Amino acid sequence: MKFFIDTANLDDIRDLAETGLVDGVTTNPSLAAKAGIKFTDLVKEICTVVAGPVSAEVTAPDHATMMREADVLRKIADNVCIKVPLTPDGLKTCRKLADDGTLVNVTLCFSAAQAILAAKAGAAFVSPFVGRLDDIGQDGMGLIAEIVEIYSNYLDIGTEVLVASVRNPIHVVDAARIGAHVATLPPSVLRQLYNHPLTDKGLAAFTADWEKSGLKILED
């Protein structure tokens, strides 16, 4: 499974990119608004830090303006992935951009039927929002399983399932077990994946034993 970071915070992106565990970045208008800098400058900077796909979302509701915004965004860097909403105009834009060879992330997916349309439109990624479905009493991870199953029936579908609205490490593990291609994680959730109390306990014991031994790896 690939890990994308779901943030527009450059400090977090730089820090986590240095781990070698980050395959891409997703942003959205809400995240970008918190960054406090010009959006195109933000995307350009992120693209210099992360070599993988960087999703930059259009904000217009209509196809014609979406295309104009996409033309600006995809000229920023070769790894920009245009993010469009799962609406008729968004899918029309997706089809046009995909035909031009541009990566497209179709976002705000909440049903298997919508995911089928995204694949038909040539999306590189479809982003089902598991956390938001869980919030309203629906089974977010059940939707991921449905989409993965449907896509696996057709060898010509190249759309990757990008699990979004991830709230905790269990979402990540469940998505991986199902076979989702990508999870986009808030920095806090990615950092939580490191943590286990037995790891901390074991490390503390090893450190204490080493200090008592008086041994050294690096000599003074």
Alpha helices in 50-168 (DSSP H): 63-74, 88-99, 112-120, 130-135, 140-152
φ, ψ for residue 33, nearest 5 deg: -65, -30
Question: What is the per-residue DSSP string for 28-54?
Answer: -HHHHHHH-S-HHHHHHHHHHH--S-E
Q: Which residues, other chains included, contact 107 with Cβ-Cβ below 8 Å and sequence gap of 6+? A: 28, 55, 57, 83, 84, 85, 86, 127, 164
Catalytic residue among 34, 38, 75, 83: 83
> 44 catalytic, yes or no?
no
Measure CA of the first residue to CA of the last residue in the chain; give whole Å: 43
**Helix, strand, or coil (residue 136):** coil
Residues 6+ apart with CB under 8 A from 20: none
Count of beta carbons in the 10 Å neighbourhood of residue 144: 26
Q: Could you tell me which of 68, 143, 158 has the C-alpha nearest to residue 111?
A: 143
Q: Which residues are catalytic?
A: 83
